[in-house]
Structure 1
Amino acid sequence: MEIIISGRSNVGKSSIVRELTGKKVEIGKRPGVTTDFERIKLGKKLNIVDLPGFGYISGISHKEQEKIKTEIVRYLENNKDQIICAIEVIDTSSFLEIAERWKGRDQIPVDVELFSFLQELELEPILVANKIDKISSSKLDETLDKICIELGLDPPWRQWLDIIVPVSAKTGKGIDNLDKLLRQRFQDAGKEELLRYL
């Protein structure tokens, strides 16, 4: 069984993996450090798969970026029966600005497209709204409400606590809520025996 971690480049996917597992994974400040499928064994029957980031990747051609995106889609389609939990990580501090840029080009934002695709595969994604440490606490609820609207979820965001988890991988804030939600998803799927690996 697998927990997959997905999202655009440079949103903190590998940092989330590190926070969840305590295992050292390669992270960096430039987009595209993870360009391979990083599989981390948590036990005999459970892996976390840190998918490559998609979107802009420093030093990689547009053609190669599209190839990575295709490989991610293919991986998700071919392995959906093994995926017990799908996590999409976003950068809460830049999500709305990037979404506006995409919409200005009459395109669907990549983050929104991925969230919809995970829903279409019936993987019931958990949206990890990372980098909340970069947003003032007085603006956080408003920002998360607007992110809900972009994802096709009715605000207020707090009604979606079974889907949206605000965190800061940098400070560790909210990671305990993500851990609780993961455990709940395992119980809901009848996979309690795998909880010992978390």
Structure 2
Amino acid sequence: MKITNAAFVRSVSDLSDLPEESFPEIVFAGRSNVGKSSLLNSLTGRKGLAKTSSTPGKTRLINYFLLNDNLYFVDIPGYGYAAVSHAEKDAWGRLLAGYVGDRAAIALVVLLLDSRHPAMKSDRDMMDFLAYHDRPYGIVLTKDDKLTQKERTHAKRATESCAMNAGFIVSYSSVSGKGKNELLDHFDRYL
């Protein structure tokens, strides 16, 4: 896949506001602060396309980005830590379960895991949720540039042991772009 253009389309806080299912959607999911927005910016070559923050939980809406005029990248709120009320977390949970569980246009879910840490229970729960809903998914191990080669190998093996339903596992660095071409090639298989 080659990305020639990318633009923010809209943010959605309610399932009734989702755009028509006219294009396939690649959804980016993961814990709060795992690097979803940085990955989107790196993949598209547009530094400020998706807003980034060092504060967990900044993405609070489902954000749609149109690529090549025929594909949506969708950035969803992170799960796990975020400095918000339980009521807001519950609302996010219902929104995301309804979206990921029912949206026919979803071609692939890209689950981001921080390569510096083993998959947490919430990550494994997300993998189970995706498998239950027969959602194809792949895993991106983010922040690859912060690891030694030995740590990279260990992180990938540990992820393989708990993510047997993943269609792919890619180590990625938003800083250097390592893994970008490999990941874009994987996307082609699902579109």
Partner-residue secondary structure (3-state), 1:74: helix
Alignment of 1:176 with 2:184, yes or no, is: no
Alignment of 1:31 with 2:56, yes or no, is: yes
TM-score (norm 1): 0.77
CA distance in 2, matches of 1:135, 1:66: 34
- In structure 2, what residue type is equivalent to 1:140? R
2:9 is matched with: none
Name the structure with the higher helix share. Answer: 1
CA distance in 1, matches of 2:155, 2:45: 29
CA distance in 1, matches of 2:56, 2:139: 20
2:19 is matched with: none
Name the structure with the higher strand share. Answer: 2
1:143 to partner: Cα distance: 2.0
Partner-residue secondary structure (3-state), 2:116: coil
Same amino acid, percent of matched pairs: 27
When the two chains are superposed, the root-mean-square deviation of aligned CA atoms in Å is 1.8
- In structure 2, what residue type is equivalent to 1:49? V
Alignment of 1:120 with 2:127, yes or no, is: no
1:89 to partner: Cα distance: 0.8
- In structure 1, what residue type is equivalent to 2:97? V
In the alignment, structure 1 segments of 5+ residues that lack a partner are 100-108, 155-159, 187-198
TM-score (norm 2): 0.80
1:52 to partner: Cα distance: 0.8
Partner-residue secondary structure (3-state), 1:90: strand
Deviation per residue, 1:6-60 (Å, 9 max, x gap): 11110001111112223321001111111111111124442111011111113x1
In the alignment, structure 2 segments of 5+ residues that lack a partner are 1-23
